[in-house]
Amino acid sequence: MNYRIALIRGDGIGPEVVGEAVKVLERVGKTFGHTYEFVDVLLGGCATDAVGKSYPDGTAEKCRACDAVLLGAVGGPRWGADKPAEQRPETALLAIRKDLGLYANLRPATLRPAMIDACPLKTETAQRGIDLMMVRELTGGIYFGRREKYETDDRGVECADRMAYSEHEIERIGRRAFELSRLRRRKVTSVDKANVLETSRLWRSVMHRLAQEYPDVAYEDFLVDNCAMQLVRDPGQFDVLVTENMFGDILSDEASMVTGSIGLLPSASIGDRAPGLYEPIHGSAPDIAGQDKANPIATILSAAMMFRYSFQRAAEADAIEAAVDAVLAEGWRTADIAEPGVTPVGTRKMGELICQKL
Ligand code: NAD
Ligand code: IPM
Ligand code: MN
């Protein structure tokens, strides 16, 4: 096949990790007989620098003309909160997700066999294994509600961020979670704050209605604070976790560390039509950018998810994941996952090692 892939390299370590994922894609292409047309798309702080806007006109159209999008990361201190919204990289990331209709963000947190020692939890907890899929709602909630900032008479400035969810938004992400669980261990844990939030009470009632439609799937509700605790107490209990946008953002960073490092965790952002967008869950890591230190595995595994979810090519996805596991099993580590005494390899070397296994 010939695949047209939009590359949003972005800021900080984004270009470094995307570079390695592209090498892996090329290598997979040789092995499996695919070719690619890569289309560079400017988005984020680098776009602000180049054209004055983090989300240049025509960005969504360029992506829609592709079969899938691969994104590194955007953001950095140079384009911080003091900048107007249209110059902030994060504004662009939210806009592309919304414009492409990518309401479902799949974030699999897997403790890879070679990484059991890197799990910061108790040995017996790690040995039980961790293989969960966080299904994060991505185009609703507080991320997309009205923002307000105004002067009060007596309390200084006041700000508000509105959090809203419709039944429609909840139902479509819920269905994704239940359907996915049928390909896994048939268990869905819905995470909310229904003891406080109205949006969560609606969330819970819709999830309960869906649970009736999937009697073959075990279903439970967890409050988000308890879930955050359970993720470090016993993450092996979870199969599919489904939750709203901000809870999913926070819990997935937590889940990543439990499985070794944020540098390992990939994601797929998908909607009802192509293209899907594939991105590591980490950010632009300004503290290590440009130093060949970043772990490219999260982005490489995101490319594997691209094969699985956008191209319906499980063999290629399996091959990439197996190559990553093989390199880790040989003891190769980037700095974020290196035990004391182990000399880490750089971003490029890790990419090369993974290519060699393909
Ligand atoms: P971050 O994920 O960029 O970094 C957090 C910590 O994890 C840092 O110490 C960093 O060095 C480390 N880290 C992250 N990725 C790594 C990797 N691949 N290998 C090794 N170490 C890695 O989070 P942050 O520092 O809070 O955010 C930095 C910027 O990134 C902010 O502007 C933020 O908005 C943005 N961000 C973007 C995305 C995205 O584009 N999808 C995601 C998260 C954060
Ligand atoms: C992520 C990031 C983004 C989010 C930011 C950069 C807008 O943290 O992809 O996890 O909160 O969704
Ligand atoms: Mn995040």
Amino acid identity for residue 38 in this structure: F
Check pLDDT > 90 for residue 312: yes
Helix (H, G, I), strand (E, B) or coil at 129: coil
Looking at the structure, tell me whether residues 136 and 94 fall in a common domain. no
Pair type for strands 268-270 and 104-110? antiparallel
Domain boundary among 258, 276, 291: 258
Assess if residue 111 is contained within a domain.
no
Assess if residue 197 is contained within a domain.
yes
Q: How far apart are CA 234 and CA 97, in angstroms?
A: 32
Looking at the structure, tell me whether residues 248 and 286 fall in a common domain. no
Q: How far apart are CA 337 and CA 346, in angstroms?
A: 12
Residue 94 corresponds to which tokens in the numbers above? 């939210």
Structure pTM? 0.97
Looking at the structure, tell me whether residues 273 and 231 fall in a common domain. no
Looking at the structure, tell me whether residues 142 and 209 fall in a common domain. yes
Q: Best substitution site from 79, 139, 249, 253 to test ligand 2's pocket, by max atoms within 8 Å of Cβ?
A: 249
pLDDT in tens, 120-133: 999 999 999 999 99
Average pLDDT over the chain, rounded to an integer: 97
**Do 43 and 249 meet the contact criterion of CB atoms below 8 Å apart?**
no
Assess if residue 114 is contained within a domain.
no
Assess if residue 129 is contained within a domain.
yes
pLDDT in tens, 71-109: 999 999 999 999 999 999 999 999 999 999 999 999 999
193 is a catalytic site residue: yes
What Rg value do the Cα atoms of the chain yield, rounded? Answer: 20
pLDDT of residue 192: 98
67 is a catalytic site residue: no
Assess if residue 112 is contained within a domain.
no
pLDDT of residue 272: 97
Looking at the structure, tell me whether residues 140 and 232 fall in a common domain. yes
Looking at the structure, tell me whether residues 4 and 23 fall in a common domain. yes
Assess if residue 113 is contained within a domain.
no
117 is a catalytic site residue: no
Q: Which residues line ligand 1 (CB under 6 A)?
A: 13, 17, 73-76, 90, 93, 262-263, 279, 282-288, 294-295, 298, 336
Assess if residue 178 is contained within a domain.
yes
Strand (E) or helix (H) holding 4: strand 2-10
Assess if residue 85 is contained within a domain.
yes
336 is a catalytic site residue: no
Q: How confident is the model at residue 117 (pLDDT cuts 50, 70, 90)?
A: confident
HSE of 44, CA atoms in CB hemisphere, 13 A: 24
Looking at the structure, tell me whether residues 243 and 273 fall in a common domain. no
pLDDT in tens, 165-224: 999 999 999 999 999 999 999 999 999 999 999 999 999 999 999 999 999 999 999 999
pLDDT in tens, 258-300: 999 999 999 999 999 999 999 999 999 999 999 999 999 999 9
Looking at the structure, tell me whether residues 97 and 8 fall in a common domain. yes
CATH of the domain at 9: 3.40.718.10
Looking at the structure, tell me whether residues 251 and 269 fall in a common domain. no
Domain boundary among 258, 281, 314: 258
What is the extent of the structural domain holding 79?
Answer: 1-106+263-358
Q: Quick one: which atom of ligand 2 is closest to the CA of 267?
A: 9
Q: Cα(118) to centroid of ligand 2, in Å?
A: 25
pLDDT of residue 118: 85
List of residues 6+ apart from 119 with CB closer than 8 A: 111, 125, 126, 130, 258, 259, 260
Looking at the structure, tell me whether residues 129 and 247 fall in a common domain. yes
**Do 262 and 281 meet the contact criterion of CB atoms below 8 Å apart?**
yes
| Number of domains the chain is built from | 2
Looking at the structure, tell me whether residues 125 and 247 fall in a common domain. yes
Domain boundary among 258, 293, 326: 258
307-310 LR contacts (CB < 8 Å, sep 24+): 307/28, 308/268, 309/106, 309/268, 309/270, 309/276, 310/67, 310/68, 310/268, 310/270, 310/274, 310/275, 310/276, 310/278
